[in-house]
Amino acid sequence: MSFLAVYESHFTKHLTQTQFEAFRILLWLLTVHKQVGIERLAACFPLPILYQSRRKHIQRFLVLSALAIPRFWFPVIKAIICKEFKTGSRLIITIDRTQWKDKNVFMVAVIWKKRALPIYWTLLGKRGASRLSEQQALIKPVLCLLKNYELVILGDREFHSVKSAYWLKQKSKKQKLFFAFRQKQGTNQKKDDEDYQTFSQLGMKPGMKMFLTGVSVTKNKGFGNFNVGAYWKRKYKGKQEKEPWFILTNLDSLSEVLKVYRARADIEAMFKDCKTGCYNLEGSKANNKRLNSLILLIAIACTATSLKGKTFRQINQGKYIARLTEKSRRDRRHSNFWIGLYGSLWIHAWEFCSDFISIMMSNNPQKLNNYKKGLQAMSIIDKTA
């Protein structure tokens, strides 16, 4: 059953029938054309009216109050998380920011099968790093939404603020909360009555690991003590990390810290999909209200596509869409998102080119059995999609 079929009853609570059909068409256009620019969407939107009227139709849709994230998206992503993770289990939550031109998107996502599924985001009205109040405004709704899970919240060096870590440490008294925030090398730290020194003075070298417990971080008072995991990856395949990781945390072991923090890179793959890798969010010139709705459409399309790819693998049809294993590779070349996206495009291409493909198949009768298997795979994928 398709993603929209599963959640249709929820979406139709908030949208009229006409609005829901427009919603379906826009999601389909995102999958096929991989563009979120309103001009491009209007050019391809298959409603038989003037181009300018189609453009206005899309613009009106994108400012609907029904598209508010907590109302329209939270129940769906919560249902997906409940299906994919056992209640009470640990979720790795990563927060990150992506910026292009004058747009600054601040997002929180859950790590799922080496991918990040978007949960919540805000648009910052400025360039550069976020403030503590903006970080709290982003995280609070997610803590409430996922209160039945143990959460580990990850952040890169933008979130080096001890204030954020202290705030989460206070929250952890009521909810199972952990954090791992990367620190800048110039951050001050000390143990007990020792003198302050920066992380860069710890003498880390490639290949070294270190775990400090009960450390005061920064010279500001009143934040208590934290643990700090330090790690400098050794040279691998001719590549050397420029500097070590220093990770502020309330987790109890270095192995645990490193394991969860490595997952932070998965949100970068999602940002790549949203931007130049797939949906070309960078090409959008929409105002903030419409941009927020476009990101919502991308979040839904990205999540639906990833779930679809997982299903294609489970029904053993992924081999018709991509190379699943390679002798020289330890990791998978293609993610569930990639499998879901191009599985759908394979079906769309068949629907458009079926007459041409029939001629090609008739000219190669010796491959008839292979074609029959492929057509059966297409039928299964089509029904699943």
295-306 per-position pLDDT tens digit: 999 999 999 999
| Claim to verify: residue 262 and residue 366 sit in the same structural domain | no
In this structure, what DSSP letter does residue 199 have? G
Please report the pLDDT score of residue 129 as a whole number. Answer: 76
- Tell the residue number behind the tokens 């459409």, with chain if given: 297
Tokens at residue 4, please?
């929209």
Asked if residue 343 belongs to a domain, the reply is yes
Please report the pLDDT score of residue 156 as a whole number. Answer: 85
- Tell the residue number behind the tokens 């003075």, with chain if given: 201
Task: Give the residue from 221, 248, 274 where a domain finishes.
Answer: 274
34-78 per-position pLDDT tens digit: 878 899 899 999 999 999 999 999 999 999 999 999 999 999 999
Q: By the 8 A CB rule, do 139 and 153 touch?
A: yes
| Claim to verify: residue 99 and residue 156 sit in the same structural domain | yes
pLDDT mean over 143-160: 89
Q: For the chain, what percent of residues have pLDDT higher than 90?
A: 49
Please report the pLDDT score of residue 326 as a whole number. Answer: 64
pLDDT band at 105 (very low <50, low <70, confident <90, very high): confident
pLDDT mean over 72-93: 96
| Claim to verify: residue 140 and residue 250 sit in the same structural domain | yes
In this structure, what DSSP letter does residue 143 have? H
Please report the pLDDT score of residue 332 as a whole number. Answer: 65
Task: Give the residue from 210, 240, 274 where a domain finishes.
Answer: 274
Asked if residue 299 belongs to a domain, the reply is no
Residue 344 or 103, more confident: 344
Please report the pLDDT score of residue 330 as a whole number. Answer: 61
Please report the pLDDT score of residue 228 as a whole number. Answer: 94
pLDDT at 385 over 90: no
pLDDT at 372 over 70: yes
For residue 266, give the nearest of 128, 113, 162 by alpha carbon.
113
Tokens at residue 98, please?
């992506």
Positive/negative CA dihedral, 333, 337, 340, 341:
negative
| Claim to verify: residue 269 and residue 210 sit in the same structural domain | yes
Asked if residue 158 belongs to a domain, the reply is yes
pLDDT mean over 366-370: 92
| Claim to verify: residue 261 and residue 379 sit in the same structural domain | no
pLDDT at 93 over 80: yes
Residue 82 amino acid letter: C
Asked if residue 96 belongs to a domain, the reply is yes
Distance CA 232, CA 207 (A): 6
Residue 309 amino acid letter: G
All residues at 6 or more sequence positions from 257 whose CB lies less than 8 Å from its CB, including other chains: 180, 211, 227, 229, 247, 249, 251
Please report the pLDDT score of residue 84 as a whole number. Answer: 95
Asked if residue 181 belongs to a domain, the reply is yes
| Claim to verify: residue 103 and residue 171 sit in the same structural domain | yes
pLDDT mean over 287-291: 88
- Tell the residue number behind the tokens 């919240």, with chain if given: 153
| Claim to verify: residue 241 and residue 375 sit in the same structural domain | no
| Claim to verify: residue 227 and residue 354 sit in the same structural domain | no
All residues at 6 or more sequence positions from 10 whose CB lies less than 8 Å from its CB, including other chains: 75, 76
13-37 per-position pLDDT tens digit: 999 999 999 999 999 998 888 878 8
pTM of the prediction?
0.88
All residues at 6 or more sequence positions from 283 whose CB lies less than 8 Å from its CB, including other chains: 35, 36, 37, 40
For residue 228, give the nearest of 195, 268, 184 by alpha carbon.
184
pLDDT band at 160 (very low <50, low <70, confident <90, very high): low
pLDDT at 1 over 90: no
Task: Give the residue from 274, 302, 326 where a domain finishes.
Answer: 274
pLDDT at 375 over 70: yes
Least confident of 83-87, 240-244, 247-251: 240-244
For residue 256, what are the CA distances in angstroms to 78, 91, 163, 184, 342? 26, 13, 23, 20, 35
252-284 per-position pLDDT tens digit: 999 999 999 998 888 877 777 766 667 777 667
pLDDT at 381 over 90: no
| Claim to verify: residue 255 and residue 365 sit in the same structural domain | no
| Claim to verify: residue 95 and residue 208 sit in the same structural domain | yes
Asked if residue 218 belongs to a domain, the reply is yes
pLDDT mean over 232-248: 85
Residue 95 amino acid letter: I
Domain with 355, as residue range(s), is 317-384
| Claim to verify: residue 212 and residue 355 sit in the same structural domain | no
pLDDT at 329 over 70: no
What is the count of structural domains for the chain?
2
Please report the pLDDT score of residue 331 as a whole number. Answer: 62
All residues at 6 or more sequence positions from 194 whose CB lies less than 8 Å from its CB, including other chains: none
Asked if residue 4 belongs to a domain, the reply is no
Asked if residue 54 belongs to a domain, the reply is no
**What's the chain's Rg over C-alpha atoms?**
24
| Claim to verify: residue 172 and residue 244 sit in the same structural domain | yes
Taking 3-state DSSP, the helix, strand and coil percentages for the chain, each rounded to the nearest 5, stand at: 50, 20, 30
Please report the pLDDT score of residue 177 as a whole number. Answer: 95
CATH number for the domain including 247? 3.90.350.10
Distance CA 174, CA 171 (A): 6
In this structure, what DSSP letter does residue 276 have? I
Q: By the 8 A CB rule, do 104 and 124 touch?
A: yes
In the chain the first and final C-alpha atoms are separated, in Å, by 7
